[in-house]
Copies of this chain bind each other. A is one copy, B any other.
Amino acid sequence: MTDIDRKDAALGLILELVVLLSRDMAERFARDGLTDSRVHLIWELAHRGPSTQRALADALQVSARNITGLVDALVATGFVTREPHPTDRRATLVSFTKKGAAVAESLQREQKEFAQLLFGQMPTAQFDCFVDAMSAIVERIRKEMEK
Residues of A within 8 A of B (CB): 4, 6-11, 13-18, 20-24, 27, 111-112, 114-120, 122, 125-127, 129-138, 140-142, 144-145
Residues on B with C-beta less than 8 A from A129 are 125-126, 129-130, 133
Q: Which residue in B7, B20, B122, B138 is a CB contact (below 8 Å) of A142?
A: B20
20 pairs of residues in contact across A and B, judged by CB atoms under 8 Å = A7-B112, A7-B127, A8-B115, A10-B127, A10-B130, A10-B134, A11-B115, A11-B118, A11-B119, A13-B135, A17-B137, A17-B141, A18-B18, A24-B144, A24-B145, A118-B137, A126-B132, A127-B133, A130-B133, A130-B134
Closest 9 CB pairs of A and B: A130-B133, A129-B129, A11-B115, A7-B115, A7-B119, A13-B134, A8-B115, A20-B141, A8-B112
A138-B11 CB under 8 A given contacts A133-B129, A145-B24: no
Q: Which residue in B118, B133, B142 is a CB contact (below 8 Å) of A140?
A: B118
Q: B13 touching A22 by the CB < 8 A rule?
A: no
Q: B117 touching A140 by the CB < 8 A rule?
A: yes
Give the CA-CA distance A125 to B141 in the complex, in Å: 21
In addition to A4-B115, A7-B115, 13 A-B residue pairs with Cβ atoms within 8 Å of each other are A4-B112, A8-B115, A10-B115, A11-B115, A11-B118, A11-B119, A13-B131, A17-B134, A118-B137, A118-B141, A125-B129, A126-B129, A129-B130
